[in-house]
Amino acid sequence: MSRNAAILGLATAVPPHRLSQDDALAMARDILAPRYPGFARLESVFTNAAIDNRYAVMPIDWYRAPRGWADRSRAYLESATALFVEVARDALCRAGIAAQAVDTIVTISSTGIATPGLEARALAAMGFRADVRRVPVFGLGCAGGAGGLALAARLAQAAPGENVLLVVVETCTLAFRAQAPGKADIVASALFGDGAAACILRAGPGGNAMARVAASAEHIWPDTLDIMGWDIGEEGLGVIFAQAIPAFARAHLAEAFAGIFTCWGMRDGGFAEHVLHPGGAKVIAALEETLGLASGHLQREREILRDFGNMSAPTVLFVLERALRTGLRGPTLLAALGPGFTLNCVVLEPA
């Protein structure tokens, strides 16, 4: 019996308000263009993003009004908790496990602050046990799906037979700042959407495994705090994109991947499949180039980006869900880039 943690159920969810890219551009022209003189030069970000639709936790008119910390926090607590409950219930149902059987909950979210955490706020609605262990994690950003899966798998492996619930929730659209937008705000308004994902992991016997987590690793580059993160102002959280992420990926990712693969004993990678975080169209292309994949190879990643935009942490788990529908053909690399600047990697094996 493998001691590696198995994924027993995986689910994804999006909020109810669909936002087409045409609607997003029209809103940006209406709200941001008058406040940012160079907006016309950035309109191509919307048209070249390779995104058709995104989903938001609030109706579009909510974003037109000035919003501060209080408004954004209320919206986050309500909407993120609702997404948590929806996606956690679905994952448990697919795994055939009752909420009372969950021993540990890992919650990944960086787009709002909740104290007590989202898992505590969802406890009564979910029916978790009073002695369930809670591990809330803030700050992983777009790397949170991969990093959260690695953490949850290690916790499951440390306690064979126990059920670990991973829930990843991000409400990126609540960071939309209209009062004094910068270039990063406009880029963010063209890329980001909201979503959630959850999975159940267990090491040891029991359950129908969809895949197993065989290994994980992380690489952080020094002096890269300005590449991606939050700029905290009076309006709330605002995104930082201080450097070109695709250019950074092309310059530095190959060496990081090579070091991780060597530690795993996989000199040339040797992966049958790839499940990567689609941070943007250019990022996907940079990942293909870095990993020596044919142009257009990462089709699932492009489909998720097209249908949902960049939802930050849960996005890579949306890609994984599609990969698992047809079954993994062999060792699979799951990876995501995030603030730090960080690369998080996981090796998945077919069940």
Q: Which residues are catalytic?
A: 142
C-beta of residue 167 within 8 angstroms of C-beta of residue 317: no
| DSSP count for the chain of H helices, then E strands | 12, 13
C-beta of residue 335 within 8 angstroms of C-beta of residue 144: no
C-beta of residue 145 within 8 angstroms of C-beta of residue 197: yes
Torsion sign, CA atoms 123, 126, 127, 133: negative
Q: What whole-number distance in Å separates Cα of residue 276 and Cα of residue 255?
A: 17
Q: What is the DSSP annotation of 234-264?
A: TTEEEEE--S-HHHHHHHHHHHHHHHHHHHH
C-beta of residue 248 within 8 angstroms of C-beta of residue 227: yes
List strands edge to edge, sheet with 332-338. 133-137, 102-108, 163-171, 194-202, 5-13, 211-220, 342-350, 332-338, 273-276
Encoded tokens for 340:
């730090």
